[in-house]
Structure 1
């Protein structure tokens, strides 16, 4: 298999870091975004072969444009896949609940979890179209599912899952659907994917490691093409 060129957002820790490690091990060219390259000095991410770091601070939407320009310079022949992994769970460790809701909290979480990844995907469409793979992955969550949320109320209470996070991931899923609806005929494969109950800083009661989640997601996405119908 020829090396791919992939973009992974939120790559400094957790699932994003595990994805970058897996792609690097395979010999793929990895463009890993993170808030600050300076803070990555001396970390595992900075030491990985075939990995180039690009700053992307989604609190400032203008950095999406500058990151896209840098990605175009790094990969002038295009990229194969975009993995939109970056997400926010809480506001500075403050749980957003029904009784403590504020519009500012909701706007920030929706901006990070929906607006920024959707905008980045839109801006990178011409870069993806330079290659044949054309895959966009939106890392979602089981918290976006009514059925899961109803059947797992005890777990979600234990995990202290903020309701705005689930709402934002529902919105992200719908963004993925519309991307699929508009771009599938052009050869794009759009994949909203649940990474599993991953043990991370965001989810201290997860049941699988970031490494296991990344491997399973890669296997799943590798097997999919634009001909598959997985929006059921």
Structure 2
């Protein structure tokens, strides 16, 4: 059973319309938090026909646009109060071998995955400093830790989140604002569903658990880092990868 929050928090999850992001948003909502999710394309299933449904606020936002980020926060704050929990999950991939990768292929992925996380985190921290507390969780990937052929852009952007989180941890010092990273491995999402059978078998052979992660398992790690019991966990990288990274 999910433990209910004594006082509902204002939570913002970027890229919360499907997969891992949606599982994270549902996890917070079940705990009684007020949850806003951003989406760039289709709305989350819960809010396909209404702006607010089942505790969710749906906000259209492209994290590569600072003005849209600011509007998303203003909508969330107007509905739920100051955002004190941010999960930067919005991401994209555009896989190609380096010799075939264009500069646009590289920079567009970095702009969404890394600079997008910078935009939303910077906006969130301003409010958290005023509130005197906050929790920030950045969603990385095992590709950041051990690399992945054809994903130099993706792996670089996800690795950058780790340095970003640890540097921000030093900036925030003794304040009650934490910044941590969750690094999922192969997870049951649309991205993994697009793999060929051979690709899937290869990846599973590299995963000691022998199976894909469930989005809820990633959400549980995020919920812990965002909770009161993780106040002394700062600048950490939590792998949820079935052992694929083996601590790297």
Q: Same fold (TM over 0.5)?
A: yes
Q: CA deviation at 1:220?
A: 4.4
Distance 2:140 2:108 in 1: 17
Kept in 2, the 8 Å contact 1:137–1:193? The answer is: yes
Partner Cα separation in structure 2 for residue 203 and residue 54 of structure 1: 26
Q: Which moved more, 1:204-213 or 1:13-22?
A: 204-213
The RMSD of aligned alpha carbons is: 2.3
Q: Deviations over 1:22-42 (max 9, x none)?
A: 111111100111115xx427x
Counterpart of 2:9 (choices 1, 4, 8) is 4
Q: Does the C-alpha gap of structure 1 residues 45 and 25 become closer, same or farther in structure 2, counting only changes over 3 Å?
A: farther
Please say which of residues 67-76 and 18-27 is displaced more in the overlay: 67-76
1:179 equivalent to 2:198? Answer: no
> 1 CA distance for matches of 2:114 and 2:65?
14
Shift of 1:182: 0.4
Partner of 1:153: none
Tell me: CA distance 1:35–1:105, structure 2 relative to 1, closer, same or farther (3 Å). Answer: same
Residue pairs, 1:117-136, within 5 angstroms? 117-136=117-136
Residue 193 of structure 1: aligned partner: 182
Counterparts of 1:15 and 1:231, CA distance in 2: 19
> Secondary structure of 2:174's partner?
helix
Q: Which residue of 2 aligns with 1:69?
A: 74
Aligned partners of 1:229 and 1:114: how far apart in 2?
19
TM-score, with structure 1 as normaliser: 0.81
**Superposition pairs of residues 55-204 of structure 1, within 5 angstroms:** 55-76=60-81, 78-90=82-94, 95-145=95-145, 148-149=146-147, 156=148, 162-204=151-193
Q: How many residues align?
A: 212
- Alignment check: 8 A CA contact 2:132 2:175 kept: no
1:41-65 Cα offsets, whole Å, 9 max, x none, are 7x23557421111111124332112
Structure number with the higher strand fraction is: 2
TM-score, with structure 2 as normaliser = 0.76
